[in-house]
Amino acid sequence: MLDDDTDIHPLFAGAPSTTEFKKLRKRIVRYTREAIEQYGMIERGARWLVCLSGGKDSYTLLAVLHELQWRGLLPVDILACNLDQGQPGFPATVLPEFLEKMGVPHRIEYQDTYSVVMDKVPQGRTFCALCSRLRRGNLYRIAREEGCSAVVLGHHRDDILETFFMNLFHGGRLATMPPKLVNEEGDLFVYRPLAHVAEADCEKFATAMNYPIIPCDLCGSQDGLQRQQVKQILDGWEKNSPGRRQVMFRALMNARPSHLLDPKLFDFAGLERAPEKFSENSNEIPVLR
C-alpha cells in the first residue's frame, strides 16, 4: 500500500503523516481484508449497502472499504447509507455534507422510528432493542430498493466480544454477532468486515482523521445498559492483563463442540470406545486429551 497523498482515496486525504498513524491505518486495512477473505464476503460485481451512523466505527468502515476498493482489492460497488431515525438533536446535515465532500455515493433516508420507540417502550426501559429492529428492517428495505446483495455494518471485535458475554450472562447461550449471516428472509447477506479490528483502533483512526463524529446517545437511553456493564468488566480484565480481549476473541475462532455440553452440536450419545486398541498386554501409552 502506498502512502503518497496523490494516490489515495479522498476519505484518507489529510491523514497524519506520522509513522504511528501509518501503522494504525495499515493494521486496520489488513485486519479488514483478512476478515473479508476469511469469511467469504466477496461476490464479484455485487453491490454493498454500507451503513453509516456517524460514529467512529462506521466512519472507519467506510474509509477502509473505499481504501480496499481504491486498491482494486474489493471488486464491489459501495453505496453509503444513513438512516435518520428522527432523534431529537440529530445533526441532519453533517453526513450528507461529508459524503458529498468526499465524493462517496450515498443515500440519506428519513424514518421517524424514534417516535415509535418512545410510544412502545415503557418508561425506564432502554430503547436499543426495538430501535435496532426497526433500523434493521428499514436498512433491508433500502438494500432491496437499491439492488444491494449485502448490508454492511461497522461492528468491531469488541462489539462481538461484548455480545458474547451478554448472551452468556443474560441469555444463557454461547452466541455472538457473526461476521457473515443471511437475513431471515434469505435474500440478503449481513457483513461485519471490522470483526477483527479493535475498538481502540477505530477510535484512534477516526479521531486522527478528524471525522465529524455523531454520538449515539441522542435518545438518552445509554445509562445502565447491560452492554455498558459488560464493557466495564472487559475493561477491568484488560487493565489487569493486557491482551486479554484478543485472547478471548481468538477463543471464539477456536470452538470445540466435543468439549462443550450441547448434544445438538456433538453426538455424545453416539460416542463409542475403542477398547481393542489397548489390550491388556499392550505397552502403548494412551494419549491424554
* 216 marked as binding residue: no
d(CA 16, CA 71): 20
Taking the C-alpha atoms of residue 133 and residue 139, their distance in angstroms, rounded to an integer, is 10
Task: Please give the span between the terminal C-alpha atoms of the chain, in angstroms, as a whole number.
Answer: 44
Q: Residue 81, annotated ligand binder?
A: no
CA distance 194 to 153: 8
| Binding-site residue ranges | 128, 131, 219
Annotation: binding site for [4Fe-4S] cluster: 128, 131, 219
